[in-house]
Amino acid sequence: MHLEAMVKELMQNQSTGTVHPGNVTDQAKPTTPPTLPHDPVDLTAPEQLSNARYVGSTHWSAILDDIQELKVVLAGPTDLQEVTAPIPSATSLASDDIIFGGSSNFSLQEIIAQHLPPKVETDRALAAYFRGETFIVPFVHAFQFQRLYREFWTDPTKVNPLWLSLLFSICYMSSLVGGATCADLPLQGDLINQRFRLHTAAAKCLIVGRYRRPQPFAIEALALYGHCKNLATLDPSREAGTILAIVVRMAYEMGYHRDPDHFGSFTIFEAEMRRRFWAVCKQYDTMVSFQLGLPSSIVVENSDTKPPRNLLDSDFNEYTQELPPSRSENEPTKLLWFIVKDRMLASFSKVSKDALSFNEKSEAEVYQLDQEIRQVHATTPDILRTRALGDSLADSPFLIMTRLYIEFIHLKSGLVLHRKYMVRGSVFSTVACVEAGKSLVRQFVDMYHERAPGGQLHLGSWMLNNFTMNDFLLGVMVLCLVVHLRRRRGGGQNFLPSNGEAASEKELLSLLKRSRDICVEKSPASRDAWRVSHAISLTLDYAKSSDGASTGGSTLPQPHSLNTWTDTFNAVHSTGSGFQPTDPTSLVLLSGDEQSNQYGDTGIGTLDSFSFMFNGLDGVDWMTFDPQISGHDAPIL
């Protein structure tokens, strides 16, 4: 305890720059390497807003580096600090994840007695997982798992704790399907508590089973636990990122990056399951790292593991002597979208690396990578090609959503590749970026509204996860950037022609208004959605104010206090109504003009600091304000 206190004291001294007399006689102030001018910094860590957190260029908030007008406003000391942040879910209430602790003051029998549902309920949960169209985890083989499940109930005292962790995690995932469409609030609360118990039990089993040792089911159980952690929130989970980084390191240590044909001695079944698991590792690592704006832990070029085959679990088992060939990609197997996504990772990883690199590609290199992205997308089977919802009337919600997952990977590849070159004035990148942003946001908005009761996707509403939400926010911020770039460059009504068509600003603003409604509605569950809703409102206000100034019409909004808007936002959050249409204070139903009419001149669309910024100050280099921005405590994007 004394040592711990000394370490904490030393860390506090270092953070405050103080040195106690007697500890160090003469200490030179350490030098800090200069920060590169375009390193994005996220200052929104809820625990301590003054601590800067690095995010790379793949994070949606990094787009603010190209919209200095928004960055200055959202970083400034405003009353928005008082806005209530989204309430964390039950699974995120614990401050520390127990798998990182050293305590194991619980036995396997206690875990089973306290957390395992009755057999009939567990049977139903597994049936919902294996029979239904859920987030199928390819490295859990249905028939092997069911055999072990039968053995477990024969004698629960002999169960492998790590396999039991898998069971708890699968039950957790199964509960997501039933709970997403449940409108009964008391029952919904019971489901949240049940999920928390299942997730806690999975963690305890990992500890009892000593998951950090290379052994059967260890890496699979930890990966599935991290996957459940990620599914628990609409915002990117840093805890899940840490857990999955451990999974990647363990996978490397156990040789999963080497194909079983060249490494180790494995059965046909074990070899194929290892290929499936490594493909999952690559996808988890790439997507979660992308969300967090950080480099991936896996270097694709340093692996020779073959992609898994497009097979049903019924096509092979533990006793298979020869693996059958892959099924046709015209057949919509549950694994097909996973196979296609794995195929797209090579080009997507290149895009992410370029976005995080401090070097810039030439226009020819950008064009070449763009063509590679399009060629890979062209190999998508027809059954997984996105189409209008009106043309998908006979398709299941799962199939429709997996089509969107594939399409969004393609579209965000284009967004991330072209965004920084669009800012530098490339016409080719501008056209590509605008079209990708419009398509992504429009498809998300259409999908989102079909999740309502009676919609085509209502039964699949649980499939809206933080990956999809993050793609949407990225697309929205790119549209905000497009509006600001057009105004800054003095464009006309049409932004840029593309194949004879034009991306009108009216169309972009319409998409932004619809997106703002969604972001405000999801704000209670997503801090990122709340922040982006504010950025959209600032952009819409800027466009409206600029129109008034350029046409000699209405003047820019007058200075005012932010308190009224802040109080209104807090009032809506505190209702707990989820922004239902019957709520008269819901911002979801209000356009910018309606907000002004209802709340006077203090609506979200009339922020004085934003208006002031565009009142004859377009020539100011806002980059010079970056050092000051990083010192504010106000939340920024």
Euclidean distance between CA atoms 62 and 338, whole angstroms: 29
Residue with tokens 């590509």: 432
Contact residues for 196 (Cβ-Cβ < 8 A; gap 6+): 90, 91
Query: For residue 67, what are the CA distances in angstroms to 13, 483, 538, 604?
Result: 36, 10, 11, 19
Other beta carbons within 10 Å of 3: 7
Contact residues for 238 (Cβ-Cβ < 8 A; gap 6+): 292
Decide: 352 and 58 in contact? Cβ < 8 Å: yes
Cα dihedral across residues 313, 318, 324, 326: positive or negative: positive
Euclidean distance between CA atoms 169 and 206, whole angstroms: 11
Listed residue (394, 397, 355) closest to 65, CA to CA: 355
Predicted pLDDT at 133:
63
Cα dihedral across residues 479, 484, 489, 492: positive or negative: positive
- For 332, the token pair is 């919509």
Euclidean distance between CA atoms 466 and 81, whole angstroms: 24
> What angle (nearest 5°) sits at the alpha carbon of residue 348, between those of residues 347 and 351?
90
- For 328, the token pair is 């046709």
Other beta carbons within 10 Å of 21: 6
Predicted pLDDT at 179:
53
- Enumerate long-range contacts of 427-431, CB under 8 Å, 24 or more apart: 427/496, 428/363, 428/366, 428/367, 429/366, 430/485, 430/495, 430/496, 431/496, 431/497, 431/498
Residue with tokens 């260029």: 57
The domains of the chain are located at: 108-302, 335-491+499-546
103 half-sphere exposure, CB direction, 13 A CA radius = 5
Point out which residues pair with 498 in neighbouring strands. Answer: 501
> What angle (nearest 5°) sits at the alpha carbon of residue 142, between those of residues 136 and 148?
130
Point out which residues pair with 42 in neighbouring strands. Answer: 53
Task: List per-block mean pLDDT (blocks of 10 residues) for the chain, which spans 637 residues.
Answer: 46 46 38 39 38 58 72 55 43 55 75 92 90 77 95 93 96 77 50 88 94 93 95 90 94 93 90 96 93 89 92 94 93 88 92 90 92 95 90 86 93 93 90 94 93 82 86 94 83 46 75 95 92 92 71 32 33 33 26 32 27 29 29 30
Decide: 618 and 488 in contact? Cβ < 8 Å: yes
| Statement: the pTM of the whole predicted model exceeds 0.95 | no
Q: Are strands 53-54 and 501-504 parallel, antiparallel or unpaired?
A: unpaired
Q: What three-state secondary structure class fits 548?
A: helix
First to last CA, the chain: 39
Other beta carbons within 10 Å of 177: 20
Predicted pLDDT at 560:
30
288 half-sphere exposure, CB direction, 13 A CA radius = 27
DSSP string for residues in 536-581 = HHHHHHHHHHHHHHHTT-SPPPPP--SHHHHHHHHHHHHT-S-S-T
What is the SS3 string spanning 442-458? HHHHHHHHCCCCCCCCH
Euclidean distance between CA atoms 589 and 358, whole angstroms: 43
DSSP string for residues in 412-431 = HHHHHHHHHHHHTT-HHHHH
